[in-house]
Chains A and B, each alone.
Chain A
Amino acid sequence: MVQGHNELIAEKIEAHRGMAGGLLPLLHAVQDAIGYIPEESYPAIAKGMNLSVAEVHGVVGFYHHFRTHAPGRHILQVCRAESCQAMGCSELEHYVKARLGVDYHGTSADHAVTLEPVYCLGNCALSPAVMFDEQVLGRVDKATIDELLNTLEAA
């Protein structure tokens, strides 16, 4: 675990102690702050929320959104649900994977982008859609992906 994370996580635990159903909000707060939920933090989270370590582990593992390892600097989510399939997202998926040199859940070698699949971004009127960090992009084609990734490489 990175130095400083312990204190940060302890702060978040303190803020969620006693909150009804507070485990998910706490996990979100931790991931929002440091990008992932380190497994080393489970004992502290369990103690703070009056749960067993197994329960924390189970909850983190159940939800697709939570990750246990540091992601790249950016997260690119490619929608692969039906509406985007109807507009050719599988071709887009192959292109993005080849371009980044990773499969889903992988991080590019330069640590710039973590690629994730997503099942619907609610932008189905403008399929295919991707989400780059918190920015949704619609009617995405290879050119959009190139533009996005070229900007990152240039930065």
Chain B
Amino acid sequence: MSVRVYVPCDSGALSMGAERVAKAIRAEAERRGLVIELVRNGSRGLYWLETLVEVGTADGRVAYGPVKVADVASLFDADFLHGGAHALHLGITDQLPWLKNQERLTFARVGITDPVSLDDYLAHDGYRGLRNALAMTPDAIVQQVTDSGLRGRGGAAFPTGIKWKTVAGCVADQKYIVCNADEGDSGTYSDRMIMEDDPYVLIEGMTIAAIAVGATQGYIYLRSEYPHALVSLNTAIERAQAAGYLGEHILGSAHTFHLEVRRAAGAYVCGEETSLLESLEGKRGLVRFKPPLPAIEGLFGKPTVVNNVISLATVPIVLDKGAEYYRDYGMGRSRGTLPIQLAGNIKQPGLVEKAFGVTLRELLYDYGGGSASGRPIRAVQVGGPLGAYLPESQFDTPLDYEKFSEIWAVLGHGGIVAFDDTVDMAKMARYAFEFCAVESCGKCTPCRIGSTRGVEVMDNIMQGKQVSKNIALVRDLSDTLLNGSLCALGGMTPYPVLSALNHFPEDFSKASAITSETALADPA
């Protein structure tokens, strides 16, 4: 029997040369007259070890990494095909502490299977949730999702079941399921991993949602920066359709669900659900006033479920193992697990799926191994560009929606970006305004004008001009943005700005010490 060798096709692994490694392994095996079966799996999420190569042995899959093309010949010399010793030998993949201590529910298959192989998906418990759902009434499906405690993983944390119930309760000739795959937050990549590395789980989740609320058409609104996910999703949709899991009479039932991927076009604000719907309708991505809620008047004015990739991809396991199984993980009102993404200046970055309740410190040091630069971690931004910066004194906060609210921070989509002590927090606050100015849709004044004014005021502060007056101005401006913006883009830009100012005030008065003389002389 030929040995199975796994080389990931995830774009993160590809960015570290996985394609060249795969080719080199194939060529070397051929040169040595060895027969191997090369599987292109997803990434296990241990990105600092990419390209992570695995071989199937009697004891389980054995990992080697990070493998470069130059290592391939020596791996063969060391008989890696039978788990031989080598400097890059890491041991049995599943036994690596980094993986072993995770609670992978949504990510159960990621990195293990060939992403677009439907057979692989079925062999690893795929489509069990849908089969259960087909035997249930739509109300019972919605109830299961509600009972699981699942909340929107895009960042808003709204209970998924309640949203579904609203759409299910609407009478309309057409309803839609829309997947928000416009993952634009820096430091986040869990949506990308699901779509590239286990696309069927998203398709299954959307199909279950469609049956639960009575929708027949679905769209995945995918950011244009994810070309690999587009290929993976389209291949999986085509295969699911051919096998009767999509289209008319799903698995012989009376249900119909058509699914299509629509490419976004590089506007961050289109991650906001109403702006996303405008974009799907072929318009400028301007934010809509709410109400009406998209659940009642959404895409093309019809009742629409808009859920994030992770929320939808979690539905299959809830329907497979039951609401209680999922709800038993987590703490407080944050039930289940969160796929956390470690990013930025971190030694061991990657995907950690854990039950809510894990602390930032555990994630940054036990999993992350501290900073990549070896310097102290000074600040972390949690929840994307609109999330707060947290100082070391807050690293013991458990990941929980409510605990984060208490310290005026957000979990968002679960991205954690670490910065070492070389970071200039005034610069980061300025960047937050700059980002808001670049991405503002322009509909509401606080966001459109306030973001640009914010950049100007920060420039003055950084040049040491009338620092205390200008800091008061930043606070006042932030108050306007917080309370007067139409959506979270303007409404949450103050989170990074004010948290930087509150926790790292010394960075805002650096320039004033140097240029206080010129500042005094400044008549303005």
Contact = CB atoms under 8 A, between A and B. Distances in A.
Interface in B183-200: 183-189, 191-192
A63 B285 contact: yes
A70 to B, nearest CB: 18
A83 B186 contact: yes
A22 B224 CA distance: 16
A123 B189 contact: yes
Interface in B419-447: 419-420, 423, 428, 431, 435, 438-439, 441
B169 interface: no
A19 B221 CA distance: 16
A125 B300 contact: no
Contacts of A82: 186-187, 344, 381, 385, 417, 428, 431
A59 B265 CA distance: 10
Given A22-B282, A124-B189, A86 B11 contact: no
Nearest to A66: B265
A120 interface: yes
Contacts of B345: 86-87
Interface string A126-155: 110101001111110000000000000000
A122 interface: yes
Interface of A: 20-25, 27-28, 49, 55, 58-59, 62-66, 77, 81-87, 118-127, 129, 131, 134-139
A63 B275 CA distance: 12
23 contacts: A20-B300, A21-B281, A22-B282, A24-B263, A24-B264, A24-B279, A55-B283, A62-B285, A64-B266, A65-B224, A82-B431, A119-B186, A119-B268, A119-B438, A120-B188, A122-B225, A125-B342, A125-B343, A126-B16, A126-B47, A127-B343, A129-B15, A131-B225
A135 to B, nearest CB: 8
B104 to A, nearest CB: 16
A126 B186 contact: no
Contacts of A125: 12, 47-48, 189, 341-343, 349-351
Interface in B203-228: 224-228
B14 interface: yes
A55 B381 CA distance: 38
B14 A21 contact: no
Interface string B12-39: 1011100000000000000000000000
B263 A124 contact: no
A100 B224 CA distance: 25
A58 B431 CA distance: 27
A139 B343 contact: no
A81 B384 CA distance: 10
Given A63-B267, A82-B381, A124-B341, 5 more contacts: A64-B267, A83-B417, A122-B191, A125-B349, A135-B15
Contact of B225 (A21, A84, A118): A118
Given A82-B187, A87-B345, A124-B417, A23 B431 contact: no
B265 A27 contact: yes
Contacts of B183: 120, 122
B41 to A, nearest CB: 17
The 5 A-B residue pairs with the shortest CB-CB distance, nearest first, are A81-B186, A23-B282, A63-B265, A138-B15, A124-B343
B5 interface: no
B284 interface: yes
B477 interface: no
A126 B385 contact: no
A78 B352 CA distance: 26
B412 interface: no
Contacts of B54: none
Interface string B395-431: 0000000000000000000010111100100001001
A66 B267 CA distance: 10
A138 B12 contact: yes
Given A119-B438, A125-B12, A131-B225, A24 B343 contact: no
